[in-house]
């Protein structure tokens, strides 16, 4: 299952996509909040596009789950 796989998003801080998704579950709704929760994209910023993509996907998934409930 693809959910069992994790991908490093931020190599500078060793942050995986799972950690970003967890931060969204804890309340991060903006990129700035995601940075505050995890530290992602606060060093070289190379990971910003991927981190934003994971954020958008997690927010969409959370929104869908809320609507389905």
pLDDT at res. 4: 67
Q: Is residue 27 left, alpha or beta, with left meaning phi > 0 and alpha meaning psi from -120 to 50?
A: left
pTM value? 0.85
Neighbours of 19 (CB within 10 A): 20
Quote the pLDDT of residue 3. 54
| Residue 2, CA distances (Å) to 7, 18, 49 in order | 11, 12, 21
What are the pLDDT digits (tens) for 35-67? 999 999 999 999 999 999 999 999 999 877 767
Q: Could you tell me how far CA 21 lies from the centroid of its own chain? A: 4
């Amino acid at each position: 299952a693809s959910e069992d796989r994790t991908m490093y998003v931020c190599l500078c801080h060793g942050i995986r996509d799972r950690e970003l998704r967890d931060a969204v579950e804890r309340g991060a709704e903006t990129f700035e909040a995601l940075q505050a929760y995890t530290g992602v994209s606060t060093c070289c910023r190379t990971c910003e596009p991927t981190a934003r993509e994971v954020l958008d996907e997690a927010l969409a998934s959370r929104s869908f789950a809320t609507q389905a409930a």
